[in-house]
Amino acid sequence: MPPLPVVVVIEAQTELSHVIRDVLGEEGYEVIAVRDQYAALGELRQRAADFLVADLPDLDSGIGDPLAEIEREFPRLPLIVLEDESELKAPFFGPWRVSGSRVTLRRPFRLDDLIAASRVLHE
């Protein structure tokens, strides 16, 4: 049996982290849940991941993009970024948008949309 595709999920809210882990697990992914981008970077350095899901509020907090170091070190790693509509730089229609290897999913999001975005990145 081939190994399951690996996804690292950054989510500080324990309940939401469990929901995302369970939903993606049911879809056939091995999910590694962490609380912040630093823990995610540590996990990514230890093992290969197929993509990353990141719920990072306050991207405009003045510290820059918290995913920048991950993207520098792993430039080919696809990302799903969960953002509030107010944080989005440009408005878009529909539940998610793709730019390069980064998918932006508007929060609050439907689990079906997360699954669909995951499939797009993994294929």
For the segment 85-113, the average pLDDT, to the nearest whole number, is 68
Percent of the chain past pLDDT 70, that is, above it, reads 80
Buried (b) or exposed (e) across 50-74, using 16+ Cβ within 10 A?
A: bbbbbbbeebeeeeeebbeebeeeb
Cα distance between residue 50 and residue 52, in whole Å: 7
Q: How many structural domains are present in the chain?
A: 1
CATH number of the structural domain spanning residue 66: 3.40.50.2300
Structural domain including 67 reads: 6-122
- Is 81 inside a domain boundary? yes
- Is 18 inside a domain boundary? yes
- Is 1 inside a domain boundary? no
Asked if 18 and 9 count as a contact pair (C-beta separation under 8 A), the reply is no
Q: Give the global pTM.
A: 0.85
- Is 85 inside a domain boundary? yes
At residue 64, the pLDDT reads: 65
At residue 54, the pLDDT reads: 93
At residue 65, the pLDDT reads: 74
- Is 48 inside a domain boundary? yes
The better pLDDT of the pair 30, 84 is held by 30
